[in-house]
């Protein structure tokens, strides 16, 4: 199935503060409901795409360059782990992952920046979770850069 696409409704250059979202899941009804909730925030979200498979997700990541990925946990644990590992293996530092959970179980602890429960979720809760995930990803990136540059400086002192 081909994913839905919302084009940028504004004729301006997207800034680094705008959010571009890729929804990944296997249930078209839930994905369309999430799409509608995010579409209501089209002034804050520049692009929304939906992918229903891992291959479709990879194509859309290369085409639209999203900075947020919203994963539905109903796709199963092993496909979910495979998708998270694939996204993290891409080495695209700007992509944050938010997991949309139906149950409060702790199955995945690494590779995901934010968790969001499906119960009573609305557009603003999703938007705030995506913003938090982006902030967390940028903080991780900052500390990774500082750590590796600091390690290099320490090595130089001893050589």
Q: Half-sphere exposure (CA, 13 Å, Cβ side) for 56?
A: 15
CA distance 135 to 32: 26
Task: Tell me the CATH number for domain 5-158.
Answer: 3.40.50.2300
Domain boundaries, the chain: 5-158
CA distance 58 to 2: 13
pLDDT of residue 17: 65
Q: Show pLDDT as tens, one digit a residue, over the chain (159 residues).
A: 444 544 444 433 344 568 899 999 998 998 999 999 999 988 888 899 999 988 999 999 989 889 899 998 888 888 888 888 888 888 666 788 888 887 776 666 677 888 888 888 888 988 998 998 888 888 887 887 888 777 666 566 555
Question: Are 38 and 45 a contacting pair, CB within 8 Å?
Answer: yes
pLDDT of residue 109: 64
Eight-class DSSP state of 83? H
CA distance 88 to 71: 14
| pTM (2 d.p.) | 0.76
CB environment 39-70: b (16+ within 10 A), e (fewer) = eebeeebbbbbbbbeeebbeebbeebebbbbb
Which residues lie below 8 Å from residue 101, measured CB to CB, with a gap of 6+? 73, 115, 116, 117, 118
């Amino acid at each position: 199935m081909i994913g839905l696409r919302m084009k940028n409704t504004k004729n301006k250059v997207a800034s680094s503060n705008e959010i571009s979202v890729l929804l990944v899941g296997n249930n078209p009804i839930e994905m369309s409901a999430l799409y509608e909730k995010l579409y209501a925030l089209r002034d804050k979200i520049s692009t929304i795409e939906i992918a229903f498979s891992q291959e479709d997700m990879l194509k859309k990541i290369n085409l639209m360059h999203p900075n947020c990925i919203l994963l539905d946990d109903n796709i199963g644990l092993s496909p979910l782990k495979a998708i998270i590992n694939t996204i993290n293996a891409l080495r695209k530092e700007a992509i944050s992952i938010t997991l949309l959970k139906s149950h409060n179980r702790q199955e995945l602890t690494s590779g995901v920046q934010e968790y969001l429960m499906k119960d009573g979720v609305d557009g603003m809760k999703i938007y705030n979770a995506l913003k938090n995930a982006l902030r967390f990803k940028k903080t991780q990136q900052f500390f990774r850069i500082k750590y590796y540059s600091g390690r290099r400086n320490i090595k130089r002192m001893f050589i």
